[in-house]
């Protein structure tokens, strides 16, 4: 602990729990700063003050920052709140760009049309923020495309600027979202013309925020070791494999952790009953409550199979719908919570309609229900086409719910296929992205489910693992130390 004392980290993300979340990035930006603080760091988390955040619960400061974008000044005032000892959240109150809208990225019409200005502002303000907040960060750690330009702005700071020379870490959470904007938006960045090039932020004639983060950060991380390798190839490099290969020596895979307080079946406030590896009775109650919630009968020998996910191509919904017929021949009840592309939402609605009493479906976002599904299910499905890390499989392991996943990214790094001979493994993995391979893996899981002793071993193997942030935070710290 002692050797980290004094290390001050400026951590910035477009979403962070407990204030704003649309996906795993929000979980990570909530959990990692906390674990860094527990390891002795002082962490400032910077995020925009969105309309979904109640500013009356924050402390207004007297500080403000002005940034010029496209020739006009944008003034932001700073709000703050200490949610955890050692972690202070700072909020950029810029009503026009953020606070006046309910959502983070867009509304029913799609992304907000001025997301270029909204995120350019966030990137540009970053270097000016520490002086306004009276901080001196040793490292700046920024996340995903939303903050991809920040490392470049840091590199371009003039002599004498207090943040000049501060090392930056850029974390890739999902390369499928790159922050692409038309050339016409380039003047808003205020960057010299020469950076609109192959050596700079340009690709396919557009500005690419993600590419900037990859090229100009001092270190680049991906959220699992397997994903860090996968993105060097054409299939999962999404067109950025060339810049990624250029930075290969500075690219590290660090597995995400989970918030072990928020996701703890022994203390989970969303559950009707508590349980732990030693006392599993509460899990049976959670299962009953889950079935009741969806008016599904409790049929002997039937496995409850859960899914909590964004309904997008990445998550393998194509496989789920393709495998529907074969899956529903099995003795399972399917419980699904998610929201996303209308195509998948509608397909899931159709499946639910076709199999009354077998499928429970909620289209929407519901934190409490996500916890109940994790607790009340026997199996959890993640047939992802790709998965940079994935958090739900780790929640599942902690909740004694056996994951069935495709061997990709962080899923391959956390789920170990059950081996009855050596009694080793915590779940079920399949490789080929085909309905056949997927269904075969579910069948294997159900076979084990039918053998109480065997199933109990798999469940206990998973529950005995430690996926908390502690180890991963140590890895980030080790990386920070190489940079300062
Ligand atoms: P991604 O960030 O790609 O969506 P992750 O597995 O990293 O995937 O994280 C997703 C997070 O969002 C998890 O905490 C999961 O429980 C949560 N989540 C996803 N969809 C929903 C939903 N419909 N309701 C509640 N929580 C959800
Ligand atoms: C992204 C990825 C997901 C990962 C999360 C947090 O949203 O899709 O796999 O767990 O970021 O890093």
Fold of the 281-463 domain: Rossmann fold (3.40.50)
φ/ψ (deg, to 5) at 75: -100, 135
Residue 144: which of 256, 4, 258 has the closest Cα? 256
Residue 74, judged by CB atoms within 10 A of its CB (0-12, 13-18, 19+), counts as: buried
Distance 113 CA to ligand 1 centre (A): 25
pLDDT confidence of residue 297: 97
φ/ψ (deg, to 5) at 93: -95, 100
| Residues 380, 263 contacting (CB under 8 angstroms) | no
Q: Which letter does DSSP use for residue 158 in this model?
A: P
Question: 325 Cβ partners below 8 Å, 6+ apart?
Answer: none
Query: Which parts of the chain register pLDDT below 70?
Result: 1-5
Q: Which letter does DSSP use for residue 57 in this model?
A: G
φ/ψ (deg, to 5) at 361: -135, 130
| Residues 224, 256 contacting (CB under 8 angstroms) | yes
Nearest-angstrom CA–CA distance, 15 and 27: 8
Question: Considering every ligand atom, which ligand is closest to the CA of 362?
Answer: 1
How far, in Å, are 135, 180, 202, 208, 379 from residue 194 at the CA level? 32, 18, 10, 14, 53
Distance 408 CA to ligand 2 centre (A): 13
Nearest-angstrom CA–CA distance, 362 and 367: 12
Distance 41 CA to ligand 2 centre (A): 24
Question: Considering every ligand atom, which ligand is closest to the CA of 22?
Answer: 1
pLDDT confidence of residue 2: 46
Nearest-angstrom CA–CA distance, 297 and 450: 18
> Cis link prior to 18 (omega < 30° from 0)?
yes
Q: Is 173 in the pocket of ligand 2 (CB under 6 A)?
A: yes
What's the alpha-carbon Rg for the chain, to the nearest Å? 23
| Residues 64, 132 contacting (CB under 8 angstroms) | yes
Distance 365 CA to ligand 1 centre (A): 9
**Tokens at residue 221, please?**
């991380």
Look-up of token digits 């993995």? 429
Residue 69: which of 116, 113, 121 has the closest Cα? 121
CB burial readout 313-329, b (16+ within 10 A) else e? bbbbbbbbbbbbeebee
Nearest CA owner, ligand 2 atom 7: 24
Q: Is 223 in the pocket of ligand 2 (CB under 6 A)?
A: yes
Q: Is 394 in the pocket of ligand 1 (CB under 6 A)?
A: no
Nearest-angstrom CA–CA distance, 161 and 20: 31
Please tell me the number of Cα atoms within 13 Å of 363 on its side-chain side.
15
pLDDT confidence of residue 5: 59
Q: Is 323 in the pocket of ligand 1 (CB under 6 A)?
A: no
Domain range annotation of the chain = 2-257+469-483, 281-463
pTM of the model: 0.96
CA angle at 26 for the pair 48 and 410, rounded to the nearest 5°: 145
Distance 127 CA to ligand 2 centre (A): 26
pLDDT tens readout for residues 398-435: 999 999 999 999 999 999 999 999 899 999 999 999 99
Nearest-angstrom CA–CA distance, 185 and 207: 8
| Residues 413, 224 contacting (CB under 8 angstroms) | yes
Residue 152: which of 245, 217, 103, 198 has the closest Cα? 217
pLDDT confidence of residue 1: 43
| Residues 49, 61 contacting (CB under 8 angstroms) | no
Nearest-angstrom CA–CA distance, 25 and 19: 12
CA angle at 366 for the pair 362 and 372, rounded to the nearest 5°: 85
User: Options 3.40.50.2000, 3.40.50.800, 3.30.70.3040, 3.20.20.140; which CATH number does 2-257+469-483 get?
Assistant: 3.40.50.2000
Q: Would you say the CATH fold of 281-463 matches that of 2-257+469-483? A: yes
E-strand spans in 281-397? 303-311, 332-340, 359-363, 379-382
């Amino acid at each position: 602990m002692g050797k980290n004392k004094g290390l001050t980290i400026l951590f910035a993300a477009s979403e962070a729990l407990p204030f704003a979340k649309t996906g795993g990035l929000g979980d990570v930006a909530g959990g990692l700063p906390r674990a860094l603080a527990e390891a002795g760091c002082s962490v400032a988390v910077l995020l925009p003050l969105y309309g979904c955040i109640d500013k009356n619960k924050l402390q207004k400061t007297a500080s403000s920052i002005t940034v010029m974008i496209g020739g006009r000044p944008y003034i932001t005032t700073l709000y703050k709140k200490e949610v955890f000892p050692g972690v202070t959240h700072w909020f950029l109150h810029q009503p026009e760009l953020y606070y006046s809208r309910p959502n983070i990225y867009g509304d029913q019409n799609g992304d907000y049309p001025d997301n270029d200005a909204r995120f350019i502002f966030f990137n540009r303000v970053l270097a000016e923020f520490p002086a306004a907040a009276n901080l001196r960060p040793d490292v700046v750690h920024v996340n995903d495309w939303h903050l991809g330009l920040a490392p470049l702005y840091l590199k371009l700071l003039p002599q004498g600027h207090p943040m000049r020379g501060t090392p930056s870490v850029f974390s890739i959470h999902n390369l499928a979202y790159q922050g692409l904007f038309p050339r016409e938006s380039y003047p808003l960045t205020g960057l010299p013309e020469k950076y609109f090039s192959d050596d700079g932020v340009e690709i396919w004639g557009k500005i690419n925020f993600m590419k900037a983060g990859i090229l100009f950060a001092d270190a680049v991380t991906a959220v699992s070791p397997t994903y860090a390798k996968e993105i060097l190839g054409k299939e999962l490099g999404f067109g950025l494999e060339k810049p990624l290969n250029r930075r290969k020596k500075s690219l590290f895979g660090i597995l995400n952790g989970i918030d072990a307080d928020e996701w703890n079946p022994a203390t989970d406030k969303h559950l009707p009953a508590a349980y732990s590896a030693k006392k599993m009775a509460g899990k049976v109650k959670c299962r009953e409550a889950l079935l009741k919630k969806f008016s599904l009968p409790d049929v002997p020998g039937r496995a409850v199979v859960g899914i909590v996910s964004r309904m997008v191509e990445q998550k393998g919904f194509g496989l789920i719908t393709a495998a529907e017929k074969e899956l529903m021949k099995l003795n399972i009840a399917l419980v699904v919570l998610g929201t996303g592309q209308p195509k998948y939402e509608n397909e899931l609605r159709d499946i639910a309609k076709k199999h009354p009493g077998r499928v429970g479906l909620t289209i929407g976002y519901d934190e409490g229900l996500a916890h109940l599904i994790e607790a009340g299910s026997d199996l959890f499905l993640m047939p992802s086409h790709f998965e940079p890390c994935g958090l739900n499989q780790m929640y599942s392991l902690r909740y004694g719910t056996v994951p069935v996943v495709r061997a990709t990214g962080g899923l391959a790094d956390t789920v170990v296929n059950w081996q009855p001979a050596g009694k080793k493994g915590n779940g079920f993995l399949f490789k080929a992205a085909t309905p056949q391979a997927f269904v075969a893996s579910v069948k294997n899981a159900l076979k084990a489910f039918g053998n109480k002793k065997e199933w109990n071993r798999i469940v206990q193997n998973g529950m005995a693992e430690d996926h908390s942030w502690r180890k991963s935070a140590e890895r980030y710290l080790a990386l920070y130390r190489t940079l300062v």
